[in-house]
Every structure is written in structure tokens, then in C-alpha cells.
Structure 1
């Protein structure tokens, strides 16, 4: 059985004249990521490995989330394939994951994550919002063979604010 955690980067700031990859998180993006991480932290699931897009906003999101989980950064890598908006590159990346990994978290972007959450999960999601997390479980034991899984958990910041 394989578990995939897709987390879209937190809300980013357009206040700076920087490239898309260099855009930072807004304060709201930081706060929302903490909220989602704390909620996920109550789940009985250990992440074996985590990967992030090299974009500043995704990398910052991953660091906040993983620190909240007490995750060892020895099992963390940045991968260019996750700087993808269509989902094709992310799908190929996931299909090539090492089969010794049972639970993997990836941090990246839309439209890719909404598209893959709907292709792989069993619950329709209109849009994975910034700092949104979707956890999908697959019956397969080989990443290259995953197809349709079960959407185990959906954590969106708006559901955590009162």
C-alpha cells in the first residue's frame, strides 16, 4: 500500500519584483501552513520521504509543514520535476518513486495538484487551495502502477478557521 500527500504551497506574495520561482509566502501563507500542519500532525501516519518544488513558496511551505511534524530533513529533497503546473511531470515523478517508500509527501503547485488529486483520489475537488493538503492511499505496492486510490484526508485552511 502506498500513501501520497499532496500539499500546495501557501499563499504567495506578488509585492516583489522577482521571478516566479523566487516569489515568497505572504504572512497568510505561513499561518495557513502552520494550521494545516498542526491538523495533519494528529494523523497516525509517518512520512518516509518528502520532496518539494524548487520554487521559494513551495520550499518554504514544505519547511514549515515538515518542522511541525518533527520530520528529519535527511529524508527531504528538492526536485525540479515538481515545478510543474500541468501535472504531467509530477505524475512521472511519482511513478518513479522508490518502492521502498510507503508514504511520500510532495509540495508543489496548481493546476497540477488539483488535477492529480482528482485523477488519483475518489473525491472530486474543485480546487486545491493554497496550503491545501490531500492525502491519497493506493492499494498498489508499486508507485509505477498506482491508478485510482482512496482520498483519505482533505485539509484546507478555510475549514480550520473559526
Structure 2
């Protein structure tokens, strides 16, 4: 693959979590989250967005979200559970994504807000009007995703290089 090829970043916020008496990192999905997560996977598959690599936070709710999304995808992507995603700032997430091997064409990041939404906003130098309008109206609720494209190697990822091309959130169809 040449460095000039287009790449996709799929930013997924974990599905709705419960609030039991456990640490924030260990919070499981709520019933609604267990219903929404497979729908997110199905929407990605229907849009022909299948990641080559998934980088998923180690938090329980993100791992459960991804586990419920996977059966809806046509193939299981290579998956890395990465503790640096948890509570990461957009700058920390960009630094993490810059480590992606250049043979990866579509990468999905399953993480948390406010980092995921801020990352989508920071990377998007341009936007498809419909996707930008939906994201502006909905914010980045649980189980939502944004898809951005950019051209160049992963190490060139920086604010404003991407184009927001798709956005979806449960209940917003």
C-alpha cells in the first residue's frame, strides 16, 4: 500500500453502561447497551465498513460493546485491547493512532467520551454536510460512531487532516 492511499478511522463510543458499585473502569453495559451494541455492528456492516484492526479500551463496557458488535460484522477484525484508550485526551488518542501499521486501511477505535467526540471534531478538517449535521444535532451518544477518511501514512495523522464522511447514533434514524 502506498502512503497516498485513503484510510478510514471509525470512532465508536461504547454502548450505554450501568452504574453498579464498581470502579469506573469495571462498569458493565446496561440492558440498553446490550441491545444497542449489536445494532452498531450491524449498521457498520450494512455500510460496508469493516475494520482491518480494532483498538479497544480495556474498560469492561468497551470490551462488552465490541464483543456484541463482532457477530454482526462479516469478518472478525484483528483486535488490540489498549489501556491507553481509557480516559485518553484527543492528543493521546492521535499519538496512539499514529502507531498503527501502514498496512491497516480501516481502523476502528472503541472508546469513551469526551475523547471520542473531541477526536472526531479535531480530525475533521472537512465534513460531508449530512454527516456533520447529524453529529452536530446528536452529539456523540453511547453506541454512536463517526467515520473519517484521510490520505497518507498513519504517522501523518494530525488535527484537520480528515473528512467526516459518516455518522450514526442509535435512535436517530
Quick check: TM above 0.5? yes
Q: CA deviation at 1:85?
A: 4.2
Question: CA separation in 1, counterparts of 2:144 and 2:88?
Answer: 15
CA displacement 1:6-53 (0-9 Å, x = unmatched): 000001001x11011110000101111122222221122331111110
Q: Which runs of 4+ in 1 moved over 4 A?
A: none
Candidates 35, 38, 41, aligned match of 1:34:
38
Q: Is 1:80 aligned with 2:93?
A: no
Q: Could you list the runs of 5+ residues in structure 2 that have no partner in the other structure? A: 1-5
For 1:76-155, list aligned pairs within 5 A: 76-121=79-124, 122-123=126-127, 124=132, 125-126=135-136, 127-140=139-152, 142-147=153-158, 148-155=161-168
Contact 2:50 2:74 in 1 (8 A): no
TM-score if structure 2 supplies the norm length?
0.84
What SS does structure 2 have at the residue aligned with 1:31? Answer: helix
| Backbone CA RMSD of aligned residues | 1.5
2:8 to 3, 6, 31: 3
Question: Matches of 1:85 and 1:65 in 2, distance apart?
Answer: 22
State how far apart, in whole Å, the 2-side matches of 1:109 and 1:45 are. 20
Q: Tell me how far 1:67 sits from its aligned partner.
A: 2.0
Moved more, 95-104 or 61-70: 61-70
Q: Residues 3 and 104 of structure 1 are in contact (CA less than 8 Å); yes or no, is this contact kept in structure 2?
A: yes
Task: Give the CA deviation at 1:70.
Answer: 3.5
Mark the runs of 5 or more structure 1 residues left unpaired by the alignment: none
**Residues 49-58 or 61-70, more deviating:** 61-70
Q: Relative to 1, partners in 2 of residues 1:10 and 1:46: Cα closer, same or farther, differing over 3 Å?
A: closer
